[in-house]
Structure 1
Amino acid sequence: MSLDSEADRLWRAARALSEAAVTPHLPPLLFFTDPDRTPEPWIVAARLPVGAGVVYRGFGRPEAEAEAGRLRAVTRCAEVRLLIGKDADLAAAVEADGVHLPGSDTDRASDIRHRHPDWLITAAWHPARDPSPPNAKGLDALIASPAFMPGGRSSAPPLGAVGLATAVAASQLPVYALGGITARRAGDLVQSGACGIAAVDAIVSAWGAIRT
């Protein structure tokens, strides 16, 4: 299977989820960055389809502001939305499109929404550890993980397609699937009710090595 066909399959699956969940205001596909696994995330971000999104996770590193600014320039040109992990001040400084909050920070969503009414605000959710979904005022969507066995570190067991569908049914907010997503597994999620796909390795594999 070529890299181009892998990217096409992921994008088609993500759009199918978005259309079935009727969430046209949300990016169907979210690229999550990671300092170790995506050292140059702007390369991937520049190649993403129009309408996708990037969640930049700087984890408080000193180079976070410079990297976020570089991603903002790239995503603006690519017509891709940019969210900043946790740091609302950094998101405002680089004129990002929103923030992604850790599950422990969902109580900040209401205040962030008040200060930035047009932002997209998402939050992490680990249904295997906490079956009750966050329902904080101000949130637009949840990122449920791990959907499958992830490439990164996770202490929670994978949900699988059935477990993800159960999580989606329990949530009042749209839910993305994150963790262990591949082009093949993405197709298995179409009946889950998820609103889109979030990934690290699968997106790097599909878009990071495309030759233009």
Structure 2
Amino acid sequence: MPQANNSKLYLGGICVLMDCSGRARPPFDSIIDLIGAGVKWVQLRDKEATRLAVYKAARLLKELTKANGLTLIINDYADIAAAIDADGVHLGQDDLPLSEARKILGADKLIGISTHNLEQAVKAQEDGADYIGFGPIYATSTKKAGPPKGPQSIKEIRNHIHIPIAAIGGINEENVAELIEAGADALAVASAVMDAEDISKAADAFVTFVTRLKTSQ
């Protein structure tokens, strides 16, 4: 089970991207379903809401995730992550530099970086990232960062960095196994869970499948 500097923070298995952009279902309802399904790592991401709205949602999620032992990452906003005492922040290539986010959050919080090629992945590790998101692996409507990289790209990245890799982009139950075999430590899923008619059932299926794959390795 990959972990960050703080041994209590979970960085493996399934990370559900709670992408609230354009979704009517409030974060509160979704997190209840995810907790019930055994998800242990979530990321709050909303590219459309105001910072105040993100802060309010994040503050509520923090209470629920803390009480249930989940790792909570805030997408983009290091200041909001610090304000609510989240477990960390996830930054894109055009967001606040990692070094500045570290000043805001301190040494014990997680900082993840979205990467799309080997050079970015290596730099993220050198700069002190706790983990990287890498992709998009497959075609996806929620991750617009160039053409799909394919599962073989995870093998290449794995040969050059030692920090956890969260594969992202177009992940579903049909391609989970090949990503785990390629060396991904975690799988970041959004639409496959958040757009499901039954979020709890969809999340439970991912958790069960990945746990079985990891156990058999």
The alignment status of 1:161 with 2:151, answered yes or no, reads yes
Q: Note the C-alpha offset of 1:197.
A: 0.6
Q: In the alignment, what sits opposite 2:178?
A: 188
Aligned length: 192
Alpha-carbon distance in 1 for matches of 2:164, 2:184: 7
TM-score (norm. length: structure 2)? 0.74
TM-score (norm. length: structure 1)? 0.75
Partner of residue 65 from structure 1, selected from 55, 58, 79? 55
1:123 is paired with a residue whose SS is strand
Q: Note the C-alpha offset of 1:135.
A: 2.7
Partner of residue 44 from structure 1, selected from 22, 25, 30? 30
Q: In the alignment, what sits opposite 1:30?
A: 15
Letter matched to residue 180 of structure 1 = G
Q: Note the C-alpha offset of 1:96.
A: 0.6
Q: Note the C-alpha offset of 1:43.
A: 2.4
2:184 is paired with a residue whose SS is coil
Q: In the alignment, what sits opposite 2:211?
A: none
Give yes or no for contact 1:123–1:142 (8 Å, CA) kept in 2: yes
Q: In the alignment, what sits opposite 1:10?
A: none
Q: Deviations for 1:83-137, whole angstroms, at most 9, x for unmatched residues?
A: 1112121112111111111123473246516852221111101128967552343
Q: Percent identity?
A: 22
Q: Which has the higher contact order (CA 8 A, sep 6+)?
A: 1
Give yes or no for contact 2:151–2:179 (8 Å, CA) kept in 1: yes
1:33 is paired with a residue whose SS is strand
Alpha-carbon distance in 1 for matches of 2:135, 2:79: 26
Q: Output aligned runs, 1:1-212, within 5 Å.
A: 25-36=10-21, 38-39=23-24, 40-48=26-34, 49-50=37-38, 52-59=40-47, 61=50, 62-105=52-95, 107-109=97-99, 112=102, 115-127=105-117, 133-204=123-194, 205=196, 208=199, 210=201
Q: Note the C-alpha offset of 1:153.
A: 4.6
Q: Note the C-alpha offset of 1:71.
A: 1.3
1:55 is paired with a residue whose SS is strand
